[in-house]
Chains A and B, each alone.
Chain A
Amino acid sequence: MLSTLIWLPILGALTIPLIPLRFLKLAALTISGLGLAWSLWIAINFNLAEPLLQFPEFLPWLDVLGLNYQLGVDGLSLPLLVLNSFLTWIAIYSSKEQIERPRLFYSLILLVAGGVAGAFLAQNLLLFFLFYEVELVPFYLLISIWGGEKRNYAAIKFLLYTAVSGALILAAFLSLVWVQGAESFAYEAVMGNALPAWLQIVLLGLILVGFGIKIPLVPLHTWLPDTYVAASTPIAILLGGVLAKLGAYGIFRFGLGLFPDAWATLAPGLATWAAVSVLYGATVAIAQKDIKRMVAYSSIGHMGYILLGGAALTDLSLVGAVSQMVAHGLILAILFHLVGVIETKVGTRELDVLNGLMNPIRGLPFVSALLILGGMASAGIPGLVGFISEFLVFQGSYAIFPAQTLLCVVGTGLTAVYFVILLNRTCFGKLDNAIAYFPKVEWNERVPALILVLVIFYFGIQPSGLVRWPESTTAAMIAAAPNLPSAIIAQPPTPTLAADVPDLIAQ
């Protein structure tokens, strides 16, 4: 069942070069649409009460290496899996009709989709690593062939950083397996609880830095602005929406999951690191003059909330962190899509040139309106999905790390600041009559943003649709870590609705 999600796109990637040119996009859309439908079907059949792996698959492969084809999905990976299928479809839809070398383009995107799905599903460290590395070259090509200015520089930078990230992760995995003398790389076999504390911390450090590059966390982020800016719109959507989530997922699954004790020890540092990331991303975004760069830095800031939620390790904050991954994926996708439309139509991304795009006839009113919505969602305005996830994180973390949480709240304020700057300069004001002869925005260019905005609204108003998936899994992850920061503070047991019901009936 789960294999379909991996192999459907990959087989699609292999067959798509055989399809006639004019059906190419349609074929790619169909394949990714089937993938999306399949992942939704899995979500429907997903048992919400079951914290452990579901739909497991096992095929012995290379026993000598301890590498087996071992898949499974739980509440942590399921939302991301669906997000991946969804954003792949959106990215393909939002790619230009007349793209150069379309066969390679769509093949690579589908390959990436299969690889990412594989990484989310893999329950074997080596298998995860394989899928993780599969992303490397396709993304390098996607950036360097179809990118904008400075694409070669950006692509090389991306390649080097990601390769180092892979190397660190591999080092961590190998050492973990070797020091434990484990038979295979299977996930359950290598829980690091038994190791001495210092070794746990070292290995966790390796994992944090390895995935921290991918997320990215602050000192490791310098590839991101260049890469996001140089990448074309659909690629930026995939990079920001999906690949960054792979990093965050990796940290949770392999950092927190394998080394809960070390995680608990490092938690205060992680929370501080998160606060620094949030504030750094926001303040640097304020200084930008290029709207795509602003969005890129906003991404750095928003990934900080995920780390904060993970560090606090309460039920609420961890659910918040997973929802934030999804929320950020959706919001970043809509922002990159709209920025892409604006760049195509207006021909610039400069904050000093753009103006008056809200003009109902000569401007891009629909795109501007959606951009405002996207900006508000990103800044955490209630009613939109960004607020839900950020509020869950803050509510869950405040009791554990009040200072860091408050700093992150300041970061949300700063997010509002740079989005208001962005919207004010781009959407409001007056069109420059000398340049304001933009081509019109076709309906099919609006559709991806429209779909995204509906999803953003839906989860913002009905958040249970988003947060119910990870609840049981995150609760189990917390239960697995006895030495929790949340345990430091004696908390009264949270009354649950289910527990209260008998009392109510008795009354």
Chain B
Amino acid sequence: MTTATLNPPNTKIPPSTHEFAEVIHRLEAGGSMLPDTPENLMQIIGIYKAYAVPMDFYWRDLLYIAERVFLNPLPAFKYFLPQEYLDLHNHYAGDTADLRIWRGEATAHPELLEFMAKGEMKQNLPKIFHHLWHDRINMEFAEECMRAMLWHRGMGGQFDPYLDTDEYKANADRAIRAYFKGNPIMLGLYKAFPDMFYEQVRQLSYYANLGLFWEIMAPVFFEMSDIYDEGGFKGVPDAMNFLVNGIFAIAGRPIYHHVYIDGECYEIIPKSKGFTWLYEAALPYVEAVFYRTSPFRGTKSYNAQANQVPSDQKDFHYGILYADVFPVGSAGIPPTLLMQDMLHFLPPYLLDYYKQYCRGDDDMLIQLGITFQRSMYNVTSAVIQALRTALLYPLDDQDPDHLMANRQFFEAQMDRFKRPEARLRNIQSQDYR
């Protein structure tokens, strides 16, 4: 751990007396919650890479489900991406990009394509066999994240309130009728229980929302990995600042939900509503997935009398920033799905790194899970810094009142990590692995 940040960055305001004063001083100095060490940098960039490849699948499949599978009552093949969605151009990569974040291909990542073709078995089998042998990307994890966003709702922004308006229902109504055209059973059901279908469409809108969110994060992470390989990043704050800049560059990208039925596009949430990426996708995502999610079935009892699960959703603290990664691989621990996905795409330097520690090959799933936790602390730091930039004052502001306002903002953010479950304290040390 670097000791330079132990002292407050300036002497205009007194040092913080917060429990996490050290972390707060580092944030005030433009740093990350994650200590700035070469080892940490190597770990988080490596895991961004390993995360981005399955994420490249997640966003494509989420959009495919939102746009094409739609209300299919038996979506047995919803994880079987058609070629057109693999060829779909990412809006932020390749030559056709709106804003080129990653310099690589706009179509699906080559490592992903290779994994989809051969899988862990390293054999070219029909997709259905890979699927049945569970040799595949765990798309359920992406859906679980989507459901967390859907279920937590009301975390700021205009997107969620819009889902309850008559305008939304009218848009959904047109799409539902078009989708079930010539299917009297489903149309009859729709007539009898319209809300059941609206709720399904809301969920599909969140599929689109999350898909559009990850369409950006995947090229960002790919580019960070490339920059690191080229020797671009000097430390963890650099990596964080790349994220902060990325967040601002992309903040205004539209969030929408289009459905394609019989070659016709139904705009359930049109782009013209002006929903933007930062406020309607990124911030709700961080809140829902990094902080809240839902209690792991294998860790907490849902017994109402045991009072283990809070009654207020805002008190939920089961996101990756709080998660206990050690039981990964056990029953009832959802992040296992993601860890298993990332395991297939680890860069060689991380593989070598993990082999040196703990049980080497045997507990890589947990080691990479802890690395992932570190990296998500860095992403959250970027979000906190971006929010501070958007709402408050620059870090080099000369006005002590402004600095104090920044301080209070940081302290309020760190208050959320005072819970004993929060792993902020653990990630400060390299012994946590």
Contacts and interface: CB of A to CB of B under 8 A. Distances in A.
Interface of A: 356, 358-362, 430-431, 433, 436-437, 439-440
Contacts of A430: 299, 324, 326-327
B365 interface: yes
B324 A361 contact: no
B330 A359 contact: yes
Nearest to B299: A430
Contacts of A433: 324, 326, 426, 432
B335 to A, nearest CB: 13
Contacts of B330: 358-361
B327 A359 contact: yes
A180 B326 CA distance: 71
B366 A362 contact: yes
Interface in B291-347: 299, 324, 326-330
A356 B326 CA distance: 10
Given A361-B365, A362-B363, A436 B326 contact: yes
A437 B431 CA distance: 10
Contacts of B426: 433
A332 to B, nearest CB: 30
Interface-centre pick from A358, A362, A433, A440 (highest chain B CB count, 10 A): A362
Q: Please give me the 4 A-B residue pairs with the lowest Cβ-Cβ distance, nearest first.
A: A361-B329, A440-B359, A360-B329, A361-B363
Nearest to A436: B326
> Which among B324, B358, B365, B426 has the greatest number of chain A C-beta atoms within 10 A?
B358
Majority SS at the chain A contact face: loop
Contacts of A440: 359, 362-363
B430 to A, nearest CB: 13
Contacts of A359: 326-327, 329-330
A439 B362 CA distance: 10
Nearest to A432: B326
A436 B329 CA distance: 15
Interface residues on B, range: 10 to 19
Contacts of B324: 430, 433
A498 to B, nearest CB: 52
Nearest to A439: B359
A287 to B, nearest CB: 29
Contacts of B299: 430
A440 B362 CA distance: 8
Nearest to B324: A433
A431 B359 contact: no
29 contacts: A356-B327, A358-B330, A359-B326, A359-B327, A359-B329, A359-B330, A360-B329, A360-B330, A361-B329, A361-B330, A361-B359, A361-B362, A361-B363, A361-B366, A362-B326, A362-B358, A430-B299, A430-B324, A430-B327, A431-B326, A433-B324, A433-B326, A433-B426, A433-B432, A436-B326, A437-B358, A439-B359, A440-B359, A440-B362
Nearest to A433: B326
Kindly name the residue among A360, A361, A430, A437 whose own CB sees the greatest number of chain B CB atoms within 10 A: A361
Contacts of B363: 361-362, 440
A362 B433 CA distance: 11
Nearest to B426: A433
A277 B143 CA distance: 59
A358 B327 CA distance: 10
Nearest to A361: B329
Contacts of B328: 361
Contacts of A358: 330
A431 B324 CA distance: 10
A440 B360 CA distance: 9
Nearest to B364: A361
A436 B363 CA distance: 12
A451 B432 CA distance: 37
A125 B327 CA distance: 59
Given A358-B330, A359-B330, A436-B326, 5 more contacts: A360-B330, A361-B359, A361-B363, A362-B326, A440-B362
Contacts of B358: 362, 437
Interface string B84-101: 000000000000000000
A180 B377 CA distance: 88
A439 B327 CA distance: 16
A475 B326 CA distance: 57
A361 B336 CA distance: 11
A360 B329 CA distance: 6
Contacts of B329: 359-361
B393 to A, nearest CB: 38
Interface in B57-108: none
Contacts of B366: 361-362
A395 to B, nearest CB: 39
A360 B359 CA distance: 12
A188 B72 CA distance: 87
A356 B2 CA distance: 35
A22 B3 CA distance: 50
Nearest to B360: A440
Contacts of B365: 361
A372 to B, nearest CB: 16
Contacts of A360: 329-330
A440 B359 CA distance: 6
B362 A431 contact: no
A119 to B, nearest CB: 44
B372 to A, nearest CB: 15
Contacts of A436: 326
Nearest to A437: B358
A437 B426 CA distance: 15
B71 to A, nearest CB: 38
Candidate in B326, B329, B358, B365 with the most chain A CB atoms within 10 angstroms:
B326
A246 to B, nearest CB: 41
A355 to B, nearest CB: 11
B404 to A, nearest CB: 36
Interface string B349-375: 000000000110011011000000000
A431 B327 CA distance: 8
Contacts of A431: 326-327
A241 B222 CA distance: 61
A361 B354 CA distance: 14
Nearest to A440: B359
A360 B365 CA distance: 11
Nearest to A360: B329
B176 to A, nearest CB: 44
Interface in B407-433: 426, 432
Contacts of B432: 433
B230 to A, nearest CB: 34
A413 to B, nearest CB: 28
A437 B329 CA distance: 16
B421 to A, nearest CB: 11
B301 to A, nearest CB: 13
A362 B432 CA distance: 13
Contacts of B327: 356, 359, 430-431
A361 B366 CA distance: 8
Nearest to B369: A361
A497 to B, nearest CB: 48
A288 to B, nearest CB: 28
A431 B330 CA distance: 12
Q: Which of A358, A359, A360, A439 counts the most B-chain CB atoms under 10 A from its CB?
A: A360
Contacts of A361: 328-330, 359, 362-363, 365-366
Contacts of B362: 361, 440
B370 to A, nearest CB: 10
